[in-house]
């Protein structure tokens, strides 16, 4: 399966992203069901949904962090820290003046193809488990 970022066509990219999200949702739900059956001798519905809710929140947080890293949200902060430490370091400042270096630091961007599917899957599972827990309690 190709990741969604390697596809140029927008409709194909949406389709690939939807397939990744659906596959991830099914795999996580079924794995939690199997793990719950293996760990406990009797299957209790409420602890299953509570555990699923906690892990779906974790998945949402991981996906959101991956998305923030991918979008370059922290790049200005990193650049400002580098400039600050460069200015307070006298030896590096002298070396930069001698070499006539510019203070412009190139930014690098990383591609994390699972950022959006993790976030969307986490949101779907969090919403589903909260609704089911609300109906069960």
pLDDT per residue as tens digits for the range 48-63 = 888 889 889 999 999 9
Are 28 and 59 in contact by the 8 Å Cβ rule? The answer is yes
The CA-CA-CA angle for residues 42, 124, 39, to 5°, reads: 20
Which residues of the chain fall short of a pLDDT of 70? 1-8, 92-98, 100-108
> What is d(CA 72, CA 104) in angstroms, rounded to the nearest whole number?
16
Would you kindly state where each structural domain of the chain is located, as residue ranges? 4-72+109-136
- Would you state the structure tokens that stand for residue 27, as one six-digit string? 């795999």
Of residues 52, 22, 19, 41, the one with CA closest to residue 131:
52
């Amino acid at each position: 399966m190709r990741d969604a970022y390697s596809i140029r066509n927008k409709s194909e990219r949406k389709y690939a992203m939807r397939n990744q999200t659906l596959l991830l949702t099914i795999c996580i739900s079924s794995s939690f069901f199997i793990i719950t059956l293996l760990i406990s001798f009797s299957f209790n519905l409420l602890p299953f949904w509570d555990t699923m809710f906690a892990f779906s929140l974790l998945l949402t947080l991981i996906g959101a962090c991956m998305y923030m890293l991918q979008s370059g949200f922290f790049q200005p902060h990193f650049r400002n820290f580098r400039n600050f430490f460069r200015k307070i370091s006298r030896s590096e400042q002298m070396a930069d003046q001698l070499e006539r270096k510019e203070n412009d630091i190139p930014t690098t961007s990383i591609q994390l193809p699972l950022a959006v599917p993790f976030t969307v899957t986490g949101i779907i599972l969090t919403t589903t488990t909260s609704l089911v827990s609300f109906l069960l309690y």
